[in-house]
Amino acid sequence: MDPLNKANINTANEDEFGRDPLFAVAPRTLRVRAPGKINASFHVGPLRDDGYHGVASTYLAVSRYEEVIATTKPGTAPTDITVSISDTSSLDADALAGIPLNSGNLAVRAARLVADVAENPCGVHLEIIKHVPIAGGMGGGSADAAATLVACDALWHTGLSREELSLLGAELGADVPFALLGGAAVGLGVGDELTAALAPTPLHWVLVPAGFGLSTPVVYGRLDDLRASAGCTAVEPSQVDAEVLAALRAGDPHALAQCLHNDLQAAAESLAPSLSAVLAQGQELGALASLVSGSGPTVAFLAESSERAGELAEALAKYGHTAWAVEGPVHGAHLVP
């Protein structure tokens, strides 16, 4: 169709909100799944003038997923974006009750970003199924945002590439582009400068969430305080450890166990001393290595195999811990048939 003629037809048929009514005949629903993440390595630089810290991190998407069920609301303005938390969420009800259901929710902000660039947006309702710990250092809110970007792009026929969606996601936070990408990746800058890393063989982990959350800015602040009190001068990181990338490339859990590292772990343990006992207990029960994921307080244990991960999860559960056996890397945000 000639572009001019197409434009004329659309203009002639636009409704009061400037939408083509062909896209507003009946509600459409899509389900999108996006993974949580752990950091196999995490190096943090000094506090910068802009209030951020430079990082060099190795991200790994793992099989603990958030899901967003997005449903269009035909005949409504694109500003009519609502959100709810699904009853099928597996997290504690008290924690779920604290999730904002307004513009404080990253998913709502993600939908607005896509609406701003879509030709024919309408209102949308976002039902979020939560499985990734809240304020747990696994990027659950970022996964919600990534899933929403993919869902709204498909619902409104926006036709954005993954790179374009990542640029929108970067406006919401450094972890959103990685939740879109998935797999394994090196993150530089504030974590948003991503380069895919080769990790063809899944590795097996056990995650132990805490019954509380930790504020990411507070954890970074505690790291700054600990460094200052120890007289340490942090260096701006420019790359991740080559040993970590080699271990991921080889799919070798024993090699990776020797080089797992998180600069934020000491700060997280300082704020939540109970994490130290959990970390030690997991290793006593057979984990190859352990670390706090990101800013915490979720703890990740590396296992030798899927079978060993299952055994470790069962052993930790007998001691009263919630424990999930997962694998990674896995795909980023994607439509669920």
Known catalytic residues? 37, 175
Spatial distance between the Cα atoms of 313 and 106, rounded to a whole number of angstroms? 31
Instruction: Give the Cβ contact number of residue 49 at 10 Å.
Output: 5
| Nearest alpha-carbon partner for 128 in 79, 67, 169 | 67
